[in-house]
Amino acid sequence: MKVRDMVQKLGLKVFSGESGLENEIAGGYVSDLLSDVMGNADENFVWMTLQTHKNIMAVASLKELAAIIIVKGLEPDGDTIAHSNEEKVPLLGTDMETFEIAGKLYGLLNN
């Protein structure tokens, strides 16, 4: 599944990084610890987190993640958005809590 399809099916907000909406999704990872994501997430995973600062984009870019979903209606910092556009990694948002969005994405990917 492509990030674009996930955005549409889960009603996600696209903050930035539109040029990465064709990225393929291979799985998902939930964590608010950056070293945990560095150590354990895989290429083309969607990362769900409540962190909103610029460093999440550095992690996403280095790990070649498919997209980041910021949970609970939180808004990314301005420089996070700029970095997302540069790195072509979509920065997405939802009002859902992590448990709910992770469950929905799991269902979507395992259908």
Burial class of residue 24 (count of CB atoms within 10 Å of its CB; 0-12, 13-18, 19+)? exposed
Cα–Cα distance between 78 and 99 in angstroms, integer? 26
59 part of the interface to other proteins, by CB under 8 A: yes
Nearer to other proteins, 35 or 110 (CB): 35
Q: Which of 24, 38, 73, 100 binds other proteins (CB under 8 A)?
A: 38
107 part of the interface to other proteins, by CB under 8 A: no
Measured from the Cβ of residue 78, the count of other Cβ atoms closer than 10 Å reads 9
Report how far Cα 31 is from the mean position of its chain's Cα atoms. Answer: 11
Q: Which of 5, 24, 36, 75 binds other proteins (CB under 8 A)?
A: 36
DSSP 44: T
Q: With the C-alpha atoms ordered 34, 110, 101, 94, is the resulting torsion angle positive or negative?
A: positive
94 part of the interface to other proteins, by CB under 8 A: no
How far apart are CB 51 and other proteins at their closest, in Å? 5
Q: Which of 53, 72, 95, 107 binds other proteins (CB under 8 A)?
A: 53
Residues that bind other proteins (CB under 8 A): 32-36, 38-39, 43, 49, 51, 53-56, 58-59, 61-63, 79
